[in-house]
Chain A
Amino acid sequence: MSDVQTFLDRLAERNAQRGREPTWIAARRQAGAARFEALGFPTRRDEAWKYTDVRAIARGDFALADDAEFSPATAAALTLPIDAHRLTFVDGVFSASLSQLDGLPSGVALLPLSRALEENHEAVGGPLGRLTGVEFSPFSALNTAFTEEGAVVRLAPGTVVEKPIVLQFLSRAGDQPVMSHPRILIEAAGRSQATVIEHHIGEEAAANFTNLVEEVMLDRGAILTHYKLQEAPLADLHVASIHVEQGRDSTYTSFNLNLGGSLVRTDLISELNGQGATANFYGLFYGQGRQHVDSHTLANHNAPHTYSNENYKGILDDRAHGVFNGKVVVKRDSQKIEGYQSNANLLLSDRAEIDAKPELEIYADDVKCSHGSTTGQLDEEAIFALRTRGIDRQTARGLLTLAFAGEVLEEVDVDTISERVELAVAGKLPERFNLAGLVEAAVALDDE
């Protein structure tokens, strides 16, 4: 209980500093706090947390950041070199100077939650919390209690955003670890289309706690590609839930790429509510040292003719611990659905560990579903074969590791992202493995 109290005390301190706010926010804050107090932090006796011990968070004492000061040079080095619309948060606090909001096309709203609330709090109050309420988990309750900042993305009907939208979360090193409870709210109206890149990164020595709740709503025909590139500092704690609601003929494609953090838990849920809706879940988690990376996914086929396709790859080195729990649920009368799920894990060391649990729950009879999970090690024969061609052992291991990740990385359309993942999991290879250049050269060869 004292663990919970530390957080409630911080909440009380914060609330005392707050000015007037809309009554609905105060009410939700209270509901969140009450729920969090009642639930406490999850323990390994909770089925959903069986393999993930959150004591590193529960026992922490995290302050709340009050400013967004950050060295511009450091920020520049951490920012993805992509021409993009960008919102930046430093330890959860919005930084106007590190954001890039000039030239937003018409039909696109991209703004910090605090500003969206100032402008029109009622327009936020409807969608916010509609998918992820305080009931979802102790962390969503805690997030709700602390709700104050985050990113709001709204796409008007038919809007196609050319440049990606980057939501950048920087974690700062300091004497006192801090926590942040950002919200991300994405509302994509009919036939709108965008790529959102959520990027978590920070100063190497940081050890902060990020507790994120994301709600994504796709109307009819909307297409959203959502990259979550989690490269948080290796002592950071990161908990996120992403809840997606999909209307008819919408397509949501998620790339859940986890490279950083000491304790990472992501819940990704899509509600496939409209016929013709498609959810693609691509994931790659890489753990080294004593990193713990837990990915839970859930595709809820609530309507007939809905499709989900999942491919998660885990790569674990040293004493890292990975958890994959993927679930596909087909509701009664959701006929003609297709749900495919695949998980493969590669253990690079004898002491690395994976707990994988693929699940299918089907209450309809005319469906196509498959799932599978495999775990293996690098093929020593293949390493030898590569070495006999003059390729050193480390590079050979890197190549094979990357080959393992290939199915997921090949789907990544943003080169900067696939390059960073390649570098993280395979080290520096003789050249780009993704072969963009070589493919072009081979095409030219065929043309001649």
Chain B
Amino acid sequence: MLEVKDLYVTVEGNEILKGLTLTINAGEVHAIMGPNGAGKSTLSAVIAGKDGYEVTSGSITFEGQDVLEMEVEERALAGMLLGFQYPVEIPGVKNIYLLKAALNAKRSANGQEDIPAPEFMKLIKEKIAEMKMDASFLQRSVNEGFSGGEKKRNEILQMLVLQPRLAMLDEIDSGLDIDAMKVVADGVNSLRDAERAILLVTHYQRLLDYIVPDRVHVLVDGRIVKSGDAELAKKLEAHGYDWVEEGSAA
């Protein structure tokens, strides 16, 4: 589904990714772990199309399409959705409007009519219940005045409504207490199916107790230095990143 080949990315002249290669197939959950500054967030930001990231070589393809040639919104409409580490507050744009506009943009791209209001409200009602959010969130401006945990739930709510093919979640666990983490993890797990893939970027193994990945990759200094199954994350937790760095250096 997603193929990242030998990707080099610079940000403001600093080389952050240095030959990253990653393949994610439909139905898989991948976790990218690594120390601060390894380039974890850069990968998902580049895939989503954020400004300021220069791809100097390598390629990214999504279901055969050249991602780097696509506009930000085209990537989203193709099914790649980024859940932000720090969701942006958008004063004056109501959550419910964002959800409806985004869902209708997707439907329109698929040649479908706008979703009828009753059907939309039924869907939203179901999804906010899943995320254990109060209906009042719908009328509030996007993320404005939300707590850290509420912002993260809101990101997952958008995922549940938009049903991406590839969900990329950047440090979705940061700032969450254990209850909120369970809600978020349940939300993410509900997205798991044979047609979909999930890319988790995280610093801590803790999240992976709740969302068990198929593959774990350790990113150090812009490259994946080790890959394995969920057990790898546990080893990392026990031994720290130095263990991998030493191992890879050897």
Bound Cα distance from A209 to B89, whole angstroms: 44
Which residues does chain A contribute within 8 Å of B121, judged by CB atoms? Answer: 441-442, 444-445
Given A388-B48, A390-B76, A395-B101: A438 in contact with B96 (beta carbons within 8 A): yes
Does B82 have its Cβ within 8 Å of any Cβ on chain A? yes
Which residues does chain B contribute within 8 Å of A438, judged by CB atoms? Answer: 94, 96-97, 100, 117
A423-448: which residues lie under 8 A (CB-CB) from chain B?
429-431, 433, 435, 437-439, 441-442, 444-446, 448
Does A362 have its Cβ within 8 Å of any Cβ on chain B? no
Given A444-B121, A445-B135: A388 in contact with B105 (beta carbons within 8 A): no
The SS class assigned to the A binding surface is helix
Which A-B residue pairs are the 4 nearest by beta carbons? A403-B92, A390-B76, A389-B102, A387-B72
Does A381 have its Cβ within 8 Å of any Cβ on chain B? yes
Given A439-B139, A446-B135: A385 in contact with B90 (beta carbons within 8 A): yes
* B92:A404 contact, CB within 8 angstroms: yes
Does B249 have its Cβ within 8 Å of any Cβ on chain A? no
Does A382 have its Cβ within 8 Å of any Cβ on chain B? yes
Bound Cα distance from A400 to B94, whole angstroms: 11
Does A406 have its Cβ within 8 Å of any Cβ on chain B? yes
Interface size class, chain A: 35 or more
Which residues does chain B contribute within 8 Å of A448, judged by CB atoms? Answer: 125
B88 contact from A382, A406, A444, Cβ within 8 A: A382
B106-125: which residues lie under 8 A (CB-CB) from chain A?
106, 109, 114, 117-118, 120-121, 124-125
A378-412: which residues lie under 8 A (CB-CB) from chain B?
379-382, 384-393, 395, 399-400, 402-404, 406-407
* B81:A388 contact, CB within 8 angstroms: yes
* A431:B139 contact, CB within 8 angstroms: no
Q: Mark B202-213, 1 if CB is under 8 A from A, else 0.
A: 000000000000
- Interface residues on chain B, number (Cβ under 8 Å): 45
* B73:A392 contact, CB within 8 angstroms: yes
The SS class assigned to the B binding surface is helix
* B102:A390 contact, CB within 8 angstroms: yes
Given A430-B105, A435-B94, A441-B117: A389 in contact with B135 (beta carbons within 8 A): no
B105 contact from A392, A433, A446, Cβ within 8 A: A392
Which residues does chain A contribute within 8 Å of B93, judged by CB atoms? Answer: 382, 386, 399-400, 403
* A393:B91 contact, CB within 8 angstroms: no
Which residues does chain B contribute within 8 Å of A392, judged by CB atoms? Answer: 71, 73, 105
Q: How far is the CB of A311 from chain B (nearest CB, A)?
A: 13
Q: How far is the CB of A169 from chain B (nearest CB, A)?
A: 32
Q: How far is the CB of A86 from chain B (nearest CB, A)?
A: 33
B102 contact from A380, A381, A391, A431, Cβ within 8 A: A391
Does B42 have its Cβ within 8 Å of any Cβ on chain A? no
* A391:B135 contact, CB within 8 angstroms: no
* A442:B72 contact, CB within 8 angstroms: no
Q: How far is the CB of B205 from chain A (nearest CB, A)?
A: 27
Does B104 have its Cβ within 8 Å of any Cβ on chain A? yes
Which residues does chain B contribute within 8 Å of A403, judged by CB atoms? Answer: 90-93, 141
Binding site for B on A (CB under 8 A): 379-382, 384-393, 395, 399-400, 402-404, 406-407, 429-431, 433, 435, 437-439, 441-442, 444-446, 448
* B94:A388 contact, CB within 8 angstroms: no
Given A382-B90, A384-B50, A435-B94: A389 in contact with B76 (beta carbons within 8 A): yes
* B106:A390 contact, CB within 8 angstroms: yes
Does B84 have its Cβ within 8 Å of any Cβ on chain A? yes
Does B162 have its Cβ within 8 Å of any Cβ on chain A? yes
A-B contact sample (20 more), CB < 8 A, given A385-B90, A431-B104, A438-B96: A379-B90, A381-B88, A384-B88, A385-B87, A387-B49, A387-B72, A388-B72, A388-B76, A388-B81, A390-B77, A390-B109, A399-B93, A403-B92, A406-B92, A429-B101, A430-B101, A430-B104, A430-B105, A441-B118, A445-B125
Which residues does chain B contribute within 8 Å of A382, judged by CB atoms? Answer: 88-90, 93
B97 contact from A379, A380, A388, A435, Cβ within 8 A: A435
Show 15 A/B contacts (Cβ-Cβ < 8 Å), sorted by A: A385-B84, A386-B93, A387-B76, A390-B73, A390-B76, A390-B77, A395-B105, A407-B92, A430-B114, A435-B96, A438-B94, A441-B121, A442-B121, A445-B124, A446-B135
Which residues does chain B contribute within 8 Å of A406, judged by CB atoms? Answer: 92
Which residues does chain B contribute within 8 Å of A444, judged by CB atoms? Answer: 121
A399 contact from B48, B87, B101, B114, Cβ within 8 A: B101
Which residues does chain B contribute within 8 Å of A441, judged by CB atoms? Answer: 117-118, 120-121
Which residues does chain A contribute within 8 Å of B77, judged by CB atoms? Answer: 390
* B92:A431 contact, CB within 8 angstroms: no
* B117:A388 contact, CB within 8 angstroms: no
* A442:B102 contact, CB within 8 angstroms: no
B73 contact from A391, A431, A435, A437, Cβ within 8 A: A391
Q: How far is the CB of A314 from chain B (nearest CB, A)?
A: 15
